[in-house]
Amino acid sequence: MRVAVVDIGTNSTRLLIADVKDGRVTAELARRSEVTRLGQGVDASGRLADEAMQRVYTVLDEYRKAIDEATADKAVAVLTSAVRDAANGAEFTTTVRERYGLDARTIEGDEEARLTFLGATSERDPDDRTPLVVVDIGGGSTELVVGARGEVDFHVSTQAGVVRQTERHIHADPPTADEIDALATEVRGIIDAAVPETARRAPRAAVAVAGTATSLAAIDQKLDPYDPAKVHGYVLSIADCRGLLERLAALPLPERRKVTGLHPDRAPTIVAGVVILLQVLEAFGLGRVEISEHDILRGAALDAA
């Protein structure tokens, strides 16, 4: 079956077109991502902004063409944190469904966590019993999923995200040490409140998915152009992450946009992203993280098929 999945997140709108057979992705025909910042101002206003929705619609115009050209058997869309939180989120979802002919639904944090874990672990050795924490840092939320051998033991969707925390804490350019400390303190408090100590002690390894994690792997390798094959499976130590934070936080935004391996549109929120990843690793007592290209897009494709 050929499946198209659109992931409409707080910070980016992404597309995967893949062939799925016997519970596995056998080929990826297209994978695209655009930073649309749908969650712009949602934390403060409680509503999706008109200009933010229009950015998504412009991208969906192109994605619909690609889906039609690929003759997908099924086309679905998953909408996450920003849409869940917004007063006009249901209206936006209906527009996406009707205007673009997508089986569109706003998913709750629990479902987001399940699909993310499914995608992130779909190609791991089924006999590997290593307890994992899968970390999905988004624009409005961060999903933390603990499990092993494809089975979820604990999951939570937290209100920590790169757009949300950037808007709350980072106002100077470059950000000040006090701003970064305040951001880190809030995120650690969110994690400590959301994840019981037993769940934090269980994992022996971390896998991080989505734009913050893949960007950090690309920056660390100075990738230009971006190469998914070099990003997938790349390992960053906690010391690497701290070094990346120090480097990125020292740069004003115009200079951060020029960093090799970082898409310019991710430059405004990457500092918050590194802080969140560091706080997760420290909370779980882990010294390294494996970066994965397989995330909720792949999980939703497998689920749809």
Q: Give pTM, 2 decimals.
A: 0.88
- Indicate the range of 2-16, 117-131, 180-194, 219-233 predicted with least confidence: 117-131
Average pLDDT over residues 125-132: 86
Q: How confident is the model at residue 164 (pLDDT cuts 50, 70, 90)?
A: very high
pLDDT single digits (tens) 55-82: 999 999 999 999 999 999 999 999 988 8
Average pLDDT over residues 129-137: 94
Which string of b and e fits 128-161 if b means at least 16 CB within 10 Å?
eeeebbbbbbbbbbbbbbbbbeeebebbbbbbbb
Q: How confident is the model at residue 128 (pLDDT cuts 50, 70, 90)?
A: confident
pLDDT single digits (tens) 206-232: 999 999 999 999 999 999 999 999 999
**Cα–Cα distance measured from residue 298 to residue 267, given in angstroms and rounded to the nearest whole number:** 25
Average pLDDT over residues 227-252: 97
Average pLDDT over residues 144-161: 90
Tell me what pLDDT residue 80 has. Answer: 87
- The whole-chain average pLDDT of the chain stands at 95
Omega into 268 within 30° of 0, i.e. cis? no
pLDDT single digits (tens) 258-294: 999 999 999 999 999 999 999 999 999 999 999 999 9
**Cα–Cα distance measured from residue 244 to residue 189, given in angstroms and rounded to the nearest whole number:** 23
Tell me what pLDDT residue 277 has. Answer: 98
Q: Could you tell me the residue ranges of all domains in the chain?
A: 2-107, 111-296
Domain 2-107 matches domain 111-296 at the CATH topology level: yes
Q: How confident is the model at residue 21 (pLDDT cuts 50, 70, 90)?
A: very high
Pick the CATH number of 111-296 from 3.30.420.150, 3.30.930.10, 3.40.109.10, 1.10.3720.10: 3.30.420.150
Q: Return the CATH architecture of domain 2-107.
A: 2-Layer Sandwich (3.30)
Spatial CB neighbours of 177, under 8 Å, sequence gap ≥ 6: none
pLDDT single digits (tens) 95-116: 999 999 999 999 987 888 889 9
Angle at 297 between CA 292 and CA 303, to 5 degrees: 115
Dihedral (Cα; 54, 59, 61, 62), 10-degree rounding: 160
Token look-up 């790349």 returns: 234
Reply yes or no on whether the pLDDT at 45 is more than 80. Answer: yes
Query: In the chain, pLDDT over 90 holds for what percent of residues?
Result: 87
Tell me what pLDDT residue 149 has. Answer: 81
Tell me what pLDDT residue 6 has. Answer: 98
* More confident position, 33 or 113: 33
For 127-152, give the DSSP string: T----EEEEEE-SS-EEEEEEETTEE
Token look-up 């092993």 returns: 148
Reply yes or no on whether the pLDDT at 120 is more than 90. Answer: yes
Coil/strand/helix, residue 76: strand
Q: Find the helix or strand (DSSP H, E) in which 34 lies.
A: strand 24-35
Tell me what pLDDT residue 23 has. Answer: 87
**Cα–Cα distance measured from residue 203 to residue 220, given in angstroms and rounded to the nearest whole number:** 25
Q: How confident is the model at residue 126 (pLDDT cuts 50, 70, 90)?
A: confident
Coil/strand/helix, residue 68: helix
